[in-house]
């Protein structure tokens, strides 16, 4: 996608690639500081999430795993909504 956008729109393609690189650097920095950085003693007194508050996370993980193992479920749903929309667009 980036190669095609770079060929058609060189300036926009370059900006998109630069934005992707900057975003990746920020995300790597966040992951490094969150999981591999020094423990902040200001937050040492906080407890882990209780089971009741963890249930929505478990549901979310279950749905992500479900659609990861069976992507046709989501593809069928998206096609049902998007094909009539695309066919109704002016040409």
**74 or 26, which is more confident:** 26
Judge if pTM exceeds 0.75: no
Distance between CA atoms of 49 and 90, rounded to whole angstroms? 51
Min mean pLDDT across 19-28, 63-72, 81-90 is at: 81-90
> Do 67 and 74 form a contact (C-beta atoms < 8 A)?
yes
How far apart (Å, rounded) are the C-alpha atoms in residues 47 and 40? 14
Residues 4-60 have pLDDT tens digits of 888 899 999 999 999 999 999 999 999 998 889 888 888 889 888 899 999 999 999
């Amino acid at each position: 996608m980036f190669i095609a956008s770079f060929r058609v729109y060189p300036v926009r393609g370059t900006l998109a690639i630069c934005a992707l690189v900057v975003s990746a650097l920020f995300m790597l920095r966040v992951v490094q500081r969150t999981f591999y950085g020094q423990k902040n003693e200001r937050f040492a007194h906080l407890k882990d999430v209780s089971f009741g508050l963890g249930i929505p996370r478990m549901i979310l993980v279950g749905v992500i795993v479900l659609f990861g193992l069976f992507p046709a479920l989501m593809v069928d749903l998206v096609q049902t909504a998007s094909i009539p929309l695309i066919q109704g667009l002016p040409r």
